Amino acid sequence: MGKLKYYFNKIKEGKLKNKISILKWIYGYAVKHIPAIIIYTLLGMTGIVLGLFTSLNSRDLVDIITGHRTGELLRTFIIMIVLTVVNTVVSQTSNFLSTKISLKVNNEVKAQIFEGILKTDWQALSKYHSGDLVMRCGSDAANISSGILTLMPNLVIYIFRFASALYMVCRYDWTFAIFALASIPVTLISSRYSMRMMRKSGMGTMTAAASMNSFNQETFSNIQTIKAFDMLTYHMDRLREIQKAYSAATLKYQRISIVNTFIMTFVSMLVSYSAQAWGIYKVWSGAITYGTMTMFIGLSSSLTGAVSNLISFVPSSLSLFNSAERVKNIMDLPRDDYSNSEEVERFRIEQSGKGIGVNVSGASFAYDGGENVFSGADFEANPHETVAFVGPSGEGKTTMLRLLLAIIRPVEGQIRINGETEGSKEKDEYLNVSAASRCLFAYVPQGNTMFSGSIAQNMRNVKKDATDEEIIKALKMACAWDFVNKLPDGIDSEIGEHGGGFSEGQAQRLSIARAILRRSPILLLDEATSALDIWTEKEVLKNIMADEYPRTTIITTHRPSVLRQCDRVYAIRGGSCVRLSDEEISEMENMG
């Protein structure tokens, strides 16, 4: 009754429902690769059939030698050679095809998971460490792809191996099957507890590995800060703590695995030696030949091995479940909304050459149920205009740009893009922003956002078909061409990770050039000129404003020096968004 109550409570807690949902999720990936799974299964079963024929031929060979029937020796020996060659060909072909299929499935599953993570809602995804995401997209995804290809085929292959070996034993002498079959309940009972512990321990090992991966990635990404603050000792101590936790989790799993292996080995030895003793007795009594005894012992080992394989199927499936659960947790997060992609594309074509503005009406936003960053915000920005947001750090300037990009969504109000209806200058056509509308924006965030690779490659990340002339023009507008032109390889010069090899000011100008090159109707600059001197900052903004392309430019800045160049200035402070008058702007300039 106690066990029934335990399982009933598990079902009540949703454990069973969760397992079923994970199975359905795995099936959703597996169904796309049914042909590959069938091929893998057939190859495995072919190898088993060839192994059975080899066992029969080995029996005949032993009987011929012990019976001195030399006339049949050559034929049997030739068959043995042929079977060995065929088995080798099938085995190697199977290995090659399995590797080929595995790579294909692995790449496709990883790509699907990678795309899924990239399309996941940013705010929901930001709760996970990037190192943990890398592990889920890497080793967990690889575990899933391997499991999809091999889990069910292996189950079929193991069952087929067990059934075929049992059939062969029973056909010639069913008494040998007793020894192998007797091991099943013993093995199941003895390994039941260890399997349950292996699942818990396996998840603990994965969590510890994710922590290690996250720590390493974060450390190497911030190595300059670590050096500057002389935090080497702290990070080494932290590393040893994480290593200790990882070692403890791994050793716990290993101990459970060792216990399980000892159980399996003991049972296997018991069955093998019992079968050998029984075989010797049967030979001495004249019931079977030496060759048959050899075949039976081999088949008994095959039966025992099949049982072991079936039992080892449990930890393999548990590992797959653990990885699937970790990845599914990410894939079940809210996704970006691309449902109006066609409408956005139509809007983009209709407004081509006229420009696109933005309109924010009554927008309020709060992070994770906290206090509102701002409430009832209203502002607009139109083509050929430059609008600035000013305010203390942390008051919501970057948040406003994230709302425009639909990276986050307002609690109240509307965030829209607008354009002119044909034959009218009134902006009477509006479209709510979404993930699909990001194609209308070019964004330069705070900090260094250059990728490793050449300058030209970084530029073409946003416009694949950009010519060298277009890249140079964008670099000139961003006041970056002067230093790029002096580099030995010009636009083909290499950029290190996180913009390595360039100063912060140079990296900022390259980021601005990349955004300009995209020629999006709306340009967002988030403190994008903070590392530039005042003259260069004004020159960059002047070049952008002088461009004939109907661009709407929105900037956030803490510098009052550029405010006079803007058409309107809004201040975000104390949860409100207000337009500043000329007097207030002059006051800010005097204070700056």
The pLDDT score that the predictor gives to residue 6 is 46
**Of 369, 391, 412, 417, residue with least CA distance to 577:** 391
Number of Cβ atoms within 10 Å of the Cβ of 343: 14
- Runs of H (alpha helix) within 430-525: 455-460, 468-477, 481-485, 504-518
| CA distances in angstroms from 311 to 44, 57, 523, listed in the order given | 18, 30, 60
The string over 169-199, giving b where at least 16 C-beta atoms fall within 10 Å of a residue's C-beta and e elsewhere, is beeebeebbebbbebbeebeebbeebbebbb
Residues forming a β-bridge with 525: 444, 555
The pairing of beta strand 453-454 with beta strand 494-495: antiparallel
Say if residues 471 and 456 touch (Cβ distance below 8 Å). yes
User: For the whole model, what pTM was predicted?
Assistant: 0.73
CATH number, span 10-331 = 1.20.1560.10
Tell which phi-psi region holds residue 391, choosing left (phi > 0), alpha (psi between -120 and 50) or beta.
left
The pLDDT score that the predictor gives to residue 570 is 92
**Phi/psi at 69 (nearest 5 deg)?**
-95, 75
488: CB partners within 8 A, 6+ apart: none
Say if residues 554 and 389 touch (Cβ distance below 8 Å). yes
**Of 543, 535, 549, residue with least CA distance to 512:** 543
| Domain ranges for the chain | 10-331, 344-591
Distance CA 321, CA 196 (A): 13
Return the CATH superfamily for domain 344-591: P-loop containing nucleotide triphosphate hydrolases (3.40.50.300)
Distance CA 22, CA 24 (A): 5
Say if residues 475 and 506 touch (Cβ distance below 8 Å). no
DSSP state of 139: I
Say if residues 109 and 395 touch (Cβ distance below 8 Å). no
Q: What is the 3-state secondary structure (H, E, C) of 451-463?
A: CCEEHHHHHHCCC
Segment holding 193, helix H or strand E: helix 175-221
45: CB partners within 8 A, 6+ apart: 156, 157, 160
DSSP state of 335: B
The pLDDT score that the predictor gives to residue 3 is 46
394: CB partners within 8 A, 6+ apart: none
**What is the signed CA dihedral for 395, 398, 404, 407, rounded to 10 degrees?**
-110
**Of 14, 300, 32, residue with least CA distance to 145:** 32
Say if residues 433 and 337 touch (Cβ distance below 8 Å). no
Say if residues 477 and 514 touch (Cβ distance below 8 Å). no
SS3 state at 419 = strand
Helix %, strand %, coil % of the chain (to 5): 70, 10, 20
Each residue's pLDDT, cut to its tens digit, for the chain (592 residues) gives 444 454 445 444 456 677 788 888 888 878 877 887 888 788 888 888 887 777 777 777 777 777 656 556 777 778 878 878 887 887 787 778 777 777 777 788 788 888 888 888 888 888 887 778 888 888 888 888 878 777 778 888 888 888 887 777 777 777 766 766 666 666 666 555 555 565 566 666 777 777 777 777 777 767 766 766 677 787 788 888 888 888 888 787 777 777 777 776 776 677 667 767 777 777 777 777 777 777 776 776 676 677 667 766 776 777 788 888 888 888 888 888 888 899 999 999 888 888 999 999 999 998 876 778 888 889 999 999 999 998 777 778 888 999 999 998 888 999 999 987 655 455 567 889 999 999 999 999 887 778 888 999 989 988 989 999 999 999 999 999 999 999 999 999 998 877 778 888 898 999 999 999 999 999 999 888 777 888 888 888 889 888 888 999 999 887 777 888 888 999 887 778 889 888 888 887 776 5
DSSP string, 263-302: HHHHHHHHHHHHHHHHHHHHHHTTSS-HHHHHHHHHHHHH
The pLDDT score that the predictor gives to residue 8 is 47
- Please say whether the dihedral angle defined by the alpha carbons of residues 49, 55, 58 and 64, taken in this order, is positive or negative: negative
The pLDDT score that the predictor gives to residue 41 is 84
Distance CA 122, CA 283 (A): 73
Number of Cβ atoms within 10 Å of the Cβ of 574: 12
Angle formed by the axes of helices 34-66 and 73-118, nearest 10°: 160
One-letter identity of residue 226: I
Say if residues 19 and 131 touch (Cβ distance below 8 Å). no
